[in-house]
Chain A
Amino acid sequence: MGEDAESPKINHTFLRDYVTEADVISTVEFNQTGDLLATGDKGGRVVIFQRETESKGESEEVGETGDSGEYNVYSTFQSHEPDFDYLKSLEIEEKINKIRWLPQQNAAHFLLSTNDKTIKLWKVSERDKRPEGYNLKDEEGRLKDISTITSLQVPVLKPTDLMVEVRPRRVFSNGHTYHVNSISVNSDGETYLSADDLRINMWHLGITDRSFNIVDIKPANMEDLTEVITAAEFHPHHCHLFVYSSSKGTLRLCDMRASALCDRHTKLFEEPEDPGSRSFFSEIISSVSDVKFSHSGRYLLTRDYLTAKVWDLNMDKGPVETYQVHEYLRSKLCSLYENDCIFDKFECVWNSSDSVIMTGAYNSFFRMFDRETGRGVTLEAWRESSKPRAVLRTRRVYNGGKRRRGDVGVDSLDFTKKILHMAWHPSENIIAIAATNNLYIFQDRVNPEAQVQ
């Protein structure tokens, strides 16, 4: 399209940038091997990507760049549909809040996906062969005329184009009155938990009509409600331990061996509030938006609005490490409250060796912190500045002090471009970043394998 000298310069990029609300990615998750990557969106769809290997089927040599490492679409399916609760006259959003993969036990893959109310178990299986040579049916499946059959043949399996089938195997419904915010598969491989604002239920993967309520913080009188559950996760190794975070910034570790109902925590992790920093929004910014166990199971990573914190399970008095994600927003909390950005729930992730943590921010920025040095780096997930194979350059937010070229001023941050959801490959330095309706996959070619401590 050439420049039109008469019409004013029209910026057509808005057409390209127009985002359908339904396409906004709402969750990202690698499976246990990292070969599959699932994303869920606000429209209730799940898209599964599979990692391509050049030498597929042969044994790959570790460290070789023979792995192309690219992820391509493997399957897409509609997981949840908009629903309506007739009893309460409430619409139930189809947005996928969380996806969790089950450990693989056979050729098929299983994943759990949940919206606000219903959890579903999906079986993802491949079919690359099909039987041919039926006696009574022809290739199209039509019945043959019996008079034409003169001999018997044994049907054989012939290779065919790969077909990925996704079928719902279980639907876990009517378990939650409030909005489900987390699901977590237990290390026992048989059970999983689902958490809403006030309750946590434990399900068996094979049983859909019953669940155990293991945490209930709903007060007898709702007037006394002071906090809600914001996230929950099972311990990676101990099938009796789980943790849940609250809107007050506390973490509770619960042991299911202690009692059937784990309302009383085994350990309470809480950092005393600094009275000098109290503001109108103290409660909001202390609300924990995500909690993740480290792969070792020894540490917890939490995210609240301005910081990411690492906690040692052995010490409940406070976090062992605190990382400022975007401290420059502290003076902007009022505006962020007005435009609702202060309610954004950022996720946080560990790398495979628990040496690096990562979390998202605004303006398509995300941050990584090296735990050994304590230093953080800001990176950007934005297509204009990221060409395939290009090296990600670090960014900086300028908030007073010496300004360098390329720095972004705090007031120029785009708060509509937020990185809320992300995932880190379980064993390699590959990260998946969800930026609104785009998925970015970055790989570390220099150090593809994580350094094991």
Chain B
Amino acid sequence: MIHTMECAADAQSLISISLMKIHNSRTQRGGIKLHKNLLVSYVLRNARQVYVKEKYAEIYRMQQYEEVMTVCNEIQELNPLDLDAEDAGDEEQARAACCGEEASLCGSACHRGAAQPAAHARTASALYGCSPLEDGGKEPDPSYYRSCCMEASPVPHCDQFPANGSTHCNITTVLDLDTHVVTTVENGYLHQDCCCCDALQCGQGAQSPAKKRKVEFGFCTSDGEEVSDFTSACKRAKREDCTYFHLDYTDTSNISNLISIFGSGFTGLLSRQADLEQICSKQVLASLGAWTRAIVAF
């Protein structure tokens, strides 16, 4: 277990600092220092382990709370509620979607009772990273580490969705840096791409899982000795440049975006049945590899 230390030792700031170091190392005189970047990647891995575990713990705590609240609300439901066109399943999903990172909003929304489940749905959709549940009483599925890829406008996107359960507004974009496949993970199902650079076209509805679209990014060519390393690296470098300039390092809410984007090979996201430990180890291994390739390839 990693003991967190003083000052800015929280995982998020360490992640920012480490990414900044890796980015700066590209322009340092003398070329990339492999040793230093490898050590930085270890710090990144450690920080992300802590960050992910904290997130899971938080989500789990919120879901526990949510279950308690659901029971309370069910007691209150002895009085029929004024529901909109949505059915009870949506109501449940709405409540389920209330858990998430913005705990206070969730809390207040839930506290208002189940009188306005539709409102809850919209509120929930504005929140980041809600973990979906099939039903309220299920054990929280820990296979989701996510955040919305666009923090700005989840609500309008939700309006575009077909009305088949309107709370599918929780989107994570994952870019696999090896294959340059942009994958949108949404409530456990993979959608077609939701590119994080241009306007989201999320209204395509749920397709069969794991459908991906290969995205070609412009890449620079390099004639270095390690051509394979460098070529993929240049591709990634280009992509990272794009990413970096879109994101603010110090904005902690974007840290989760960064983690998603850099987390090449997040295979755990695809499997809803994968257990937590497996996810973590896969993440660790995948991420370390990604960092290393990032280091070498520059």
Residues of chain A touching chain B, judged by Cβ–Cβ distance below 8 Å, are: 85, 87-88, 90-93, 95, 116, 177-179, 197-198, 221-228, 230, 247, 275, 278-284, 287, 331, 333-335, 337-338, 340, 343
Contact = CB atoms under 8 A, between A and B. Distances in A.
Nearest to A287: B39
Nearest to B224: A88
A177 B43 contact: no
A337 B9 CA distance: 10
Given A223-B289, A279-B2, A343 B224 contact: no
A52 B225 CA distance: 49
A275 B35 CA distance: 24
Interface residues of B, number: 39
A412 B219 CA distance: 48
Interface of B: 1-9, 14, 17, 21, 29-31, 33-36, 38-39, 42-43, 46-47, 50, 222-226, 229-230, 288-290, 292-293, 296
Given A222-B296, A334-B9, A228 B34 contact: yes
Contact of B33 (A85, A179, A331): A179
A280 B47 contact: yes
A228 to B, nearest CB: 5
B43 A87 contact: no
A87 B254 CA distance: 36
Nearest to A94: B30
Given A223-B293, A279-B2, A343 B229 contact: no
Contacts of B8: 334, 338
A278 B1 contact: yes
B9 A280 contact: yes
B14 to A, nearest CB: 6
Contacts of A222: 226, 229, 292-293, 296
B225 A92 contact: no
B289 A343 contact: no
A224 B296 CA distance: 12
B150 to A, nearest CB: 30
A91 B31 contact: yes
Given A280-B43, A284-B39, A178 B34 contact: yes
A279 B50 CA distance: 10
Given A225-B38, A284-B42, A337 B293 contact: no
A88 B222 CA distance: 7
A279 B226 contact: no
Contact of A331 (B1, B5, B36): B5
B30 A337 contact: no
Nearest to A177: B225
B292 A225 contact: yes
Given A88-B31, A93-B29, A116-B30, A280 B14 contact: yes
Contact of B7 (A179, A198, A335): A335
B225 A280 contact: no
Contact of A224 (B2, B3, B36, B289): B289
Contacts of B289: 221, 223-224
Nearest to B18: A337
Contacts of A331: 5-6
B20 to A, nearest CB: 10
Contacts of B30: 90-93, 95, 116, 179
B40 to A, nearest CB: 8
A86 to B, nearest CB: 9
Contacts of B230: 88
A343 B36 contact: yes
A351 to B, nearest CB: 29
A357 B31 CA distance: 34
By CB atoms of chain B within 10 A, which of A92, A225, A335 has the most?
A: A225
